[in-house]
Amino acid sequence: MTKKALCIGINDYPGTSNDLSGCVNDAQDWKTALEKRGFQVELLLNKQATKDAMRERIQRLVMDAKSGDVAAITYSGHGTWVPDTDGDEPDGRDEALCPYDIGQNRPLLDDELRDIFAERERGTRIALISDSCHSGTVTRFAPMTNASDAKVRVRFLPPETFLPAREREIASRIARGGTRRTLTSSALLVSGCADAEYSYDASFGGKPNGAFTYFAVKALAALPAKATYRDWYRAIRETLPNATYPQTPNLFGTRSQKAWPALA
């Protein structure tokens, strides 16, 4: 059995005026935590994490995995949505991760990730851990936080930031609501917040980090050896949401996926 991971962290978003602070630290913290658990880890940071690079590295990670292998992808950065164009989303939105070149209208759509994960070999265990406003269901607009620390930001990039004018007009007409498909038909998804909430870019002891990543890594380190993803999720929920970071992590997957050993 092999265990491989790709850790993506993007602080810099040229052309958007929406840079973050803690995402690179998140990726490096995930790398450290995963290496302790026997993973071979590749980092993809800032300008390395273009859409093409993210898609190629994720696809290679999934396609190289054989039955019994474990592959993990951690993503820290902005999340967003764009108008659905193929009619598969009841709420009219395709969710997306925001690569470094999102300013060139290059989101990495949930449809694209789903297609990649669907090509996995039977018997592989694929997990996506997303510290962004990308919950696997409905993403809604995120206002700036009212927290006293001005450096705390939400990890959501409004579609108007990068969409061309015609698509911005379409996006502005899309109503909220509706249930939708998730990535979990092929991969387990651990996300930083619930549908109507936001993942926070924060700071702990003077070090920028995502609130979800900070508490999730701490919970992972304290898990017993045979803990499952369900156990890990319960441990994370002991610390999130809290008064400072009102975000509720989510765990999406089948019953058998949730019973997999957590990142092991």
Catalytic residue positions, numbered: 78, 133
214 in Cβ contact with 238 (< 8 Å): no
Q: In this structure, what token pair is assigned to residue 196?
A: 């109507």
Q: How far apart are CA 92 and CA 82, in angstroms?
A: 9
H-only helix segments in 71-143: 110-118
Amino acid at residue number 210: G
Q: How buried is 203 (Cβ within 10 angstroms: 0-12 exposed, 13-18 middle, 19+ buried)? A: middle
What's the distance, Cα to Cα, between the start and end of the chain in Å? 10
DSSP string spanning 194-249? -TT---EEEEETTEEEEHHHHHHHHHHHTS-TT-BHHHHHHHHHTTSS-SS-----
81 in Cβ contact with 96 (< 8 Å): yes
Q: Is 64 helix (H, G, I), strand (E, B) or coil?
A: helix
Q: How far apart are CA 69 and CA 44, in angstroms?
A: 21
Longest Cα separation, the chain: 52
Amino acid at residue number 1: M
Q: Is 125 helix (H, G, I), strand (E, B) or coil?
A: strand
Q: Is 15 helix (H, G, I), strand (E, B) or coil?
A: coil
